[in-house]
Amino acid sequence: MHEHFQKHSLDLAPEIELNSNDLLLDLARIGLGIACVPDYCLHASPDSGDLRELAISDPLPERALLLAYDETRPSTSAAEILRAMLTGSPIPEIEPKPASAGKK
């Protein structure tokens, strides 16, 4: 994002950076700046009627999503399946856990 702004001789110097899309939208809604969020966040917000999506003439640079995990720690079955699905690897067969004797 910074490179995109610099290409147009603009300095992107946010006062704050947040990881909560909902909070970013709330701050924009009360007039404390703009929010750069994925489009689905705006459309999914029940209070999005007062915010507008801005059409941008230049395409934004593509982003990559990374899957990070610690190879030295065991993963859960769900994590193993997700990793296989995202990487195109064969999905591991997971043995079902036997029901505990104390449960009915």
Q: What is the pLDDT of residues 12-49, one digit of tens each?
A: 777 777 888 888 888 888 988 888 888 888 877 666 66
Q: How confident is the model at residue 72 (pLDDT cuts 50, 70, 90)?
A: very high
Q: What is the pTM of this model?
A: 0.52
Q: Into how many domains does the chain fold?
A: 2
Q: How far apart, in whole angstroms, are the C-alpha atoms of residue 27 and residue 22?
A: 9
- Give me the mean pLDDT over the 54-69 stretch: 81
On whether residue 102 sits in a domain, the answer given is no
Q: Are residues 8 and 41 in the same domain?
A: yes
Q: Please tell me whether residues 20 and 42 are part of one structural domain.
A: yes
Is residue 57 included in any domain, yes or no? no
CB environment 54-69: b (16+ within 10 A), e (fewer): eeeeeeeeeeeeeeee
How far apart CA 14 and CA 33 sit, in angstroms, is: 9
Q: Assess whether pLDDT exceeds 70 at residue 104.
A: no
Instruction: Say whether both 39 and 71 belong to one domain.
Output: no
- At 86 the pLDDT is 87
User: Does 101 reside within a domain?
Assistant: no
Q: Are residues 43 and 69 in the same domain?
A: no
Q: What is the mean pLDDT of the chain?
A: 81
**Residue 21 located in a structural domain:** yes
Tally the C-alpha atoms within 13 A of residue 57's C-alpha that lie toward its C-beta. 2
Residues with Cβ within 8 Å of 89's Cβ and at least 6 positions away in sequence, in order, are 83
- Who's near 72: CB < 8 A, 6+ residues apart? none
Q: Is the pLDDT of residue 73 over 90?
A: yes
pLDDT in the model for residue 49:
67
Would 86 be classed as within a structural domain? yes
Residue 77 lies in a domain: yes
Residue 18's domain spans which residues? 2-50
Does a structural domain hold residue 28? Answer: yes
